[in-house]
């Protein structure tokens, strides 16, 4: 009995020491995320701008940064005319790539060979349950038009629930079509 108690105490001590040394705080994870985004920006020679370009005149590698750490670069402004309204359905095709090292393509939904149907999203920035994420909703609000295309960087707090829990930022190639 004494021998068994000794072994249990020994294993409990080892477990407590190992858990203490490998714990990473949420703040540590957020700092690592900021570094991942910063490294991605530097490696891709992204020019960060603080105001949306007038008349949609985007420089080749200009990314507009919002106050909450979301970045967007409009590749194609889409068709002039109707713009997305709250409650309207939008069809989205995208690549979702983690900014971790090495990067990982999490979702490929750009063509019909990758996914038969685009993702259908109801645009609603005022909802508390934004589907699929706050970042995608924010991108749609800036893209606005039918057939517009953008590149976005979404920090975890603006991602899906899973992205937020894992504190992983993502890069997206995103194109939208408005549904009448």
132: CB partners within 8 A, 6+ apart: 119, 121, 160
Q: Helices (H) and strands (E) in the chain — how many of each?
A: 4, 8
Give the residue with greater pLDDT, 127 vs 45.
Answer: 45
Name the pLDDT band for 128 (thresholds 50, 70, 90): low
Name the pLDDT band for 94 (thresholds 50, 70, 90): very high
Q: What is the pLDDT of residue 81?
A: 87
- 3-state DSSP assignment of residue 93: strand
- Rounded mean pLDDT, 33-58: 93
- Rounded mean pLDDT, 61-87: 94
pTM: 0.82
Question: What's the token pair of residue 160?
Answer: 């899906």
Flag whether pLDDT at 117 surpasses 90. Answer: no
List helix spans (H) across 23-149. 26-43, 134-143
Classify the C-alpha dihedral 122-127-129-132 as positive or negative: positive
Residue with tokens 């609000």: 141
Flag whether pLDDT at 5 surpasses 50. Answer: no
- Residue-wise pLDDT for 9-40, tens only, equals 444 444 444 444 468 899 999 999 999 999 99
Q: What is the pLDDT of residue 66?
A: 96
In this structure, whether the domain defined by 2-178 belongs to CATH 3.90.600.10 is answered with no
Flag whether pLDDT at 161 surpasses 60. Answer: yes
The ranges assigned to domains in the chain are: 2-178
């Amino acid at each position: 009995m004494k021998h068994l108690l000794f072994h249990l105490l020994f294993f409990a001590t080892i477990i407590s020491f190992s858990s203490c040394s490998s714990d990473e705080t949420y703040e540590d994870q957020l700092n690592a995320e900021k570094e991942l985004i910063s490294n991605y920006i530097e490696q891709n020679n992204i020019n960060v701008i603080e105001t949306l370009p007038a008349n949609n005149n985007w420089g080749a590698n200009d990314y507009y940064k919002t106050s909450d750490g979301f970045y967007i670069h409009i590749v194609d402004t889409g068709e002039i005319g109707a713009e997305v309204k709250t409650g309207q359905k939008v069809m989205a095709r995208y690549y979702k790539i983690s900014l971790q090292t090495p990067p990982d393509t999490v979702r490929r939904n750009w063509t019909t060979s990758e996914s038969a149907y685009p993702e259908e999203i109801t645009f609603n920035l005022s909802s508390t349950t934004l589907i699929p994420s706050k970042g995608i909703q924010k991108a749609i609000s800036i893209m606005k038009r039918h057939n517009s295309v953008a590149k976005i960087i979404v920090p975890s707090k603006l991602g899906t629930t899973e992205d937020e829990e894992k504190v992983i930022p993502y890069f997206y190639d995103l194109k939208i079509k408005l549904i009448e």
